[in-house]
Amino acid sequence: MEQTKPKLAINVYVIKDNKILLGKRKKTGNGFWGLPGGHLEFGESPIEGAKRELEEETGLKSDNLIYKNTASVVLLDDNTHYVSVNFILDDFQGEPQLMEPDKFYEWAWFDLNKLPENIFIGHKKFLDNFSNSDTLIN
């Protein structure tokens, strides 16, 4: 397989009452749970992209995103390499809504100590290390 250049992704850990918000994905990673997020668009800063993706996918708006970590994830099955810049949000109003039903089945809250087994492979690495890691570049 031909190797491609790494892509930059941004994600948001939305935390409330010791629970994390995850979306059950359609399309890529169908049936697996993942964080709100996506690809950075041309000209955006990572925090601008995180705010945009959060609002597009969940309807949540916040200016209180804080940098959490960066992870490098290589997926050999589909020959992709992502560098993910991840932010945390624990100060927001409202409840998440299903804004993109073509991309997600639903949004649900999971206890940080009892995450579902079927986590999207691109997010599994940094979700497994969420509580004890600020930087995951390796």
**Domain architecture of the chain: domains with CATH:** 7-132 (3.90.79.10)
- Residue 23 pLDDT > 90: yes
What do you get for the CA distance between the two ends of the chain, in Å? 23
Reported pTM? 0.90
- Check pLDDT > 90 for residue 52: yes
> Sorting pLDDT into bands at 50, 70 and 90, what band is 127?
confident
Nearest Cα residue to 62 out of 106, 96, 111: 96
Question: What does R_g of the chain's alpha carbons equal in angstroms?
Answer: 14
Between residues 100 and 27, the one the model is more confident about: 100
Tokens matching residue 107: 């949004």
